[in-house]
Amino acid sequence: MSLVANTGKLAGRTLFITGASRGIGKAIALKAAKDGANVVVAAKTAEPHPKLPGTIYTAAEEIEALGGKALPCIVDVRDEKQIQKAIDEAVKKFNGIDILINNASAISLTGTAETDMKRYDLMHNINTRGTFLASKLCLPLLKESNHAHILNLSPPLNMNPYWFSLHVAYTMAKYGMSMCVLGMSEEFRQFNIGVNALWPKTAIATAAIEMLTGDTSSSRKPEIVSDAAYVMLSKDPKSYTGKFEIDEDVVKSVGIKDLAPYACDPKNANNLLLDGFLDDPASLLHHQQTVSSASIRRYHTTSANYKDKVTLLVLGNVNNLLPDFFLDLPGHQTQEVKKSEPAGQIPELFSVINKTITPELVKKTQAVFQFNVKGKEEGIWHLDLKNGDGACGQGEPKHAPDATLTMDSTNFADMFAGKLKPTTAFMMGKLKIKGDMQKAMKLEKMMKSLKAKV
């Protein structure tokens, strides 16, 4: 659902988009195609993936069906020869390149001990090195264009150590892309090349996310990012450069007021899973003040330096506050929103869980979970949905856990009560997961059945 109207400003322009066979990259390509743009679909997917639909060839067909021209190229951004070959082919077919979009990226939200070096190298070689390399190789052609842009799908730079602490390797790799923006925007200013970054405010529903979590109901469609990218790429690169933009802010700047159509599930339009790397300091309301709206979330866009801005983040009421990432307020890491809780909430919770275990649930889940609970009700609990008729209770499981989850007792109770999704908790750093990530995410579906009983 695109809400930003096409203006024709990209007509005849040539876009080189990495990772354009699906997801956000393809959405940007299709938006540009409606202007009659030329698109180099630079991605690895030449053969269909068993679980992820889309190849460079199917993307090219969709681009041309909308009025654009496409050049599908097999490109692994780690391979300099493959990038250069695609650039050479673009010159032969389209006589140059006007816009480079560094979209290809790899992700692993793991801590230092859990990040193997193969995964570390993959993220840095694709995210940081791939972005630098594609920009370097496209530079001679961008210098020749009178409307040259580089757009990186990367977050605003923020040196708060909290975000680094969650997954150092991934943060470094994504910030590498953002540092390319910071440096190249100044370096290439003399050539009238605009270099900017774009980052989604919320989770975006892509095939990869759906495969990982099995749920996109708390996400927005890729079209909000492609609409924002279109607005940015339509601006004059001579004056528009060095920006770290948020998709929602960009589309609002051109008059889009109702963002609900971008939501995958309109019912969740005000209760979306927020993305990381965004400065949104939260200020708590007076404990007696009520909030009528279902959800209030506000951001301010940041660059390398930003002014502190205290904004409100409330879910439902002041007793159900959901702090966002990078809350740069004194003591944020150590202060928690306090709630009155009945003593022994977790034992009661597991009593309810025990009554919901069925052979069908065991057969469907096939996983053993260990919960290391911290805080007020510190202890170890387990949920076996793999062996026999299933079991749960206090202490370590009899069988080796497939996933070990560590979190505070308050957040733990909220998670099983349906107030806090495991995916949200994990991305916010409230939940640490060791072991099989996909099996850990199966808890989210199971918790939906518990919500009415807890």
pLDDT digits (tens, 9 = 90+) for 40-99: 999 999 988 777 788 999 999 999 999 999 999 999 999 999 999 999 999 999 999 999
* Among 432, 433, 436, 431, CA closest to 402: 436
What are the residue ranges of CATH 3.40.50.720 in the chain? 14-280
Which residue has 């090219």 as its token pair?
60
Q: What are phi and psi of 197, to 5 degrees?
A: -125, 150
Per-residue b/e over 427-449, b at no fewer than 16 CB within 10 Å? bbbbbbbbbbbebbbbbbebbee
Query: Sign of the C-alpha dihedral, residues 413, 419, 425, 430?
Result: negative
Residue 295 vs residues 116, 244, 270: alpha-carbon distances, Å: 38, 25, 5
Which residue has 């007793």 as its token pair?
319
Burial (CB count <10 Å: 0-12, 13-18, 19+), residue 294: middle
Query: Span 429-433, mean pLDDT?
Result: 85
Which strand (E) or helix (H) includes residue 39? strand 38-43
Structural fold of domain 14-280: Rossmann fold (3.40.50)
Structural fold of domain 345-452: Nonspecific Lipid-transfer Protein; Chain A (3.30.1050)
* Among 266, 229, 208, CA closest to 30: 229
Whether the CB-CB separation of 148 and 237 falls below 8 Å is answered with yes
Residue 210 vs residues 7, 216, 264, 310, 405: alpha-carbon distances, Å: 32, 6, 12, 33, 21
pTM, entire model: 0.69
pLDDT digits (tens, 9 = 90+) for 96-155: 999 999 999 999 989 999 999 999 999 999 999 999 999 999 999 999 999 999 999 999
Which strand (E) or helix (H) includes residue 14? strand 14-18
Question: Residue 404, Cα to own-chain centre: how many angstroms?
Answer: 23
How much is the CA Rg of the chain, to the nearest whole Å?
23
Query: Span 205-215, mean pLDDT?
Result: 69
**Pairing of β 193-199 and β 244-246:** parallel
For residue 310, count other CB atoms closer than 10 A to its CB: 12
Question: Residue 182, Cα to own-chain centre: how many angstroms?
Answer: 21
Q: Can you list the alpha helix ranges (DSSP code H) found in 145-264?
A: 161-166, 168-187, 207-213, 223-233, 247-253
Whether the CB-CB separation of 387 and 367 falls below 8 Å is answered with no
* Token pair of 313 as six digits: 């983040």
- What pLDDT, on a 0 to 100 scale, did the predictor assign at position 280? 56
Reply yes or no on whether 170 is catalytic.
yes
CA dist 314 and 282 (Å) reads 9
Q: How does residue 11 score in pLDDT terms, banded at 50, 70 and 90?
A: very high
Whether the CB-CB separation of 322 and 339 falls below 8 Å is answered with no
Q: How does residue 440 score in pLDDT terms, banded at 50, 70 and 90?
A: confident
For residue 315, count other CB atoms closer than 10 A to its CB: 18
Coil/strand/helix, residue 448: helix
* Token pair of 164 as six digits: 């680094």
Q: How does residue 359 score in pLDDT terms, banded at 50, 70 and 90?
A: confident
* Catalytic residue of the set 57, 162, 170, 175: 170
